[in-house]
Structure 1
Amino acid sequence: MNIYEKLLKAQVELKAPKGQYNSFGKYKYRSCEDILEALKPVLDKFKLTLFIKDDVIEVNTRNYVKATITLVNIEKPDEIIETSALAREEETKKGMDGSQITGASSSYARKYALNGMFMIDDTKDSDSTNTHGKEEAKADEEKKQAFLNSKEGMIERLKESLSSDKLSKVLGAYNVNELWEMTTEQLKEACQKIFKK
């Protein structure tokens, strides 16, 4: 299997329950750690591994933590998929020092990068049940849309939506054997023809 097939299977198989409870807001949520714990056996099963890297970047004088998830096919290590997410550092937060603020932003960014990579739906998490999380929920939706418009996302949509006969016709039209061999522009063109009829 190529990495896109493995990612699709991992997305379908992954079950990341909401293992945390916020007693103040009275809601359940899943943390980055919950997702990673649920993900480990799935990665092992499909011979995948991932790396997480954080960078602090400045956007319009504000600091953001950019978390980048790199998924690697262990059987073909040159096959990788990356996705990123940003979380803004608050300038001050009551009861937290600078390193704790950065750590909280890192956890948030990592969680949303994982959500984007593995198509985890957070619509009933804290971001939608609390008024203070609307900005993050909007960012999450934007990240999901960005993923769907990325090469990985378009490949996934085509694989999920097309029968094997139609998929063969698409591959033949672009003279390739696998969807991942198509360029991003070719995938966009194919998606526009198929999904905007």
Structure 2
Amino acid sequence: MSEEKELSFYEKLSALITELKAPKGQRNNFGKYNYRSAEDILEAVKPLANKYGLVPMLTDEIVQVGDRYYVKAKAVITDGINTEKASGFAREPESKKGMDESQITGTASSYARKYAMNGLYQIDDTKDADTDEYKQQVDSGKPKTIDSNKSKVLKAKVKELAILASLKTGTDITPDAMYKKLSDTKFLTIIPIEKLDTEQFLTIDRYIKELEKAYSKK
């Protein structure tokens, strides 16, 4: 009788992602929809991580982008030797009625952690109603669009991704077509780069990094 083959780290992670079922255990009564929180995702991950000998971790840090502060959450999973990670960002509002500073940071942390785990465990919340929930909760003002420098940086990254995708797929993919695909996937509409706000900019930037990593493995 042959011994069962030991799974590699990425085979274990792939199995975890395939088996993961993260229920939408929260209810927004005002919007009348169900959604999943960071806690829901983590509770679903824990038993599968234990099953495959993996350890999930979450960390937070405060980072400054321009004149605003963001909570940067990092979701990590490791077998003690190999590690895979993803990050998520959430902006702290300048003020939120009825909340002290620690509560504001806690709300941003929870949302950022959810975003990070969505990326790490490939959970697609793009079409869920709660995608904009945090933004509606903490920032009633109209977000500022990105400046020309950020637009140029993002256009350069999109161009590089289009070249990489073309080489890997053998298909001629223009930067314009690549960006339209990125925007449509993340926002379900085409938002011109010049009209992106900071959060949308970070969303596209993270997605580009994920795709670069995926194409590099092919």
> How does the TM-score come out when normalised to structure 2?
0.62
- Greater relative contact order: 1 or 2 (C-alpha under 8 angstroms, separation 6 or more)? 1
Q: Which residue of 2 aligns with 1:126?
A: 130
User: Quick one: which amino acid aligns to residue 122 of structure 2?
Assistant: M
Deviation at 1:131, TM superposition (A): 8.7
* C-alpha distance in structure 2 between counterparts of 1:39 and 1:17, whole Å: 11
Contact 1:112 1:140 (8 Å CA) reproduced:
no
Q: Is the 8 A contact 1:119 1:144 kept in 2?
A: no
Counterpart pick for 1:36 among 36, 42, 50: 42
Partner of 2:19: 13
Q: Cα–Cα, structure 1 residues 131 and 66, in superposed 2: closer, same or farther, change >3 Å?
A: closer
Structure 1 match to 2:117:
114
Q: Alpha-carbon deviation of 1:140?
A: 5.0
1:24-173 map, 5 Å = 24-73=30-79, 77-122=80-125, 123-127=127-131, 132=136, 143-150=206-213, 153-154=214-215
**Cα distance in 2 for residues equivalent to 1:87 and 1:129:** 12
CA distance in 1, matches of 2:46, 2:81: 21
**Could you tell me how far 1:118 is from its partner in structure 2?**
0.3
Q: Structure 1: which 5+ residue stretches go unaligned?
A: 155-186, 192-197
Larger deviation, residues 120-129 vs 30-39: 120-129
2:51 maps to a residue whose letter is: K
Question: How far apart, in 2, do the equivalents of 1:20 and 1:144 lie?
Answer: 26
Distance in 2, matches of 1:131 and 1:84, equals 18
Equivalent-residue separation in structure 2 for 1:79 and 1:130 (angstroms): 33
What is the letter of the counterpart of residue 124 of structure 1?
D
State how far apart, in whole Å, the 1-side matches of 2:128 and 2:200 are.
Answer: 10
Change in Cα spacing, 1:100 to 1:129, as seen in structure 2 (3 Å) is closer
The structural deviation recorded for 1:31 is 0.3
Three-state SS of the structure 1 residue aligned to 2:72 is strand
| Equivalent pair of 2:46/2:56 in contact (CA under 8 Å) | no
CA distance, structure 2, for counterparts of residue 51 and residue 124 of structure 1: 25
Q: Which runs of 5+ in 2 are unaligned?
A: 1-6, 138-186, 188-196
Q: Distance in 2 between matches of 1:21 and 1:70?
A: 27
1:147 alignment partner AA: E
Q: What is the CA deviation profile of residues 86-105 of structure 1, one whole-angstrom value per residue up to 9, with x for unaligned ones?
A: 11101111211111110000
Cα separation, partners in 2 of 1:130 and 1:65, compared to 1, 3 Å:
closer
Match of 2:151 in 1: none
Alpha carbons of structure 1 residues 141 and 111: separation in structure 2 relative to 1, 3 Å? farther
Give 1:43's aligned amino acid.
Answer: A
Percent of matched pairs sharing the same residue: 45
Cα distance change, pair 44–83 in 1 and its aligned pair in 2 (3 A): same
Q: 1:96 to 1:128 in 2, by over 3 A?
A: closer
CA–CA distance in structure 2, aligned partners of residues 23 and 145 of structure 1: 34
Using the TM superposition, give the Cα deviation of residue 147 of structure 1 relative to its aligned residue in structure 2, in angstroms. Answer: 2.0
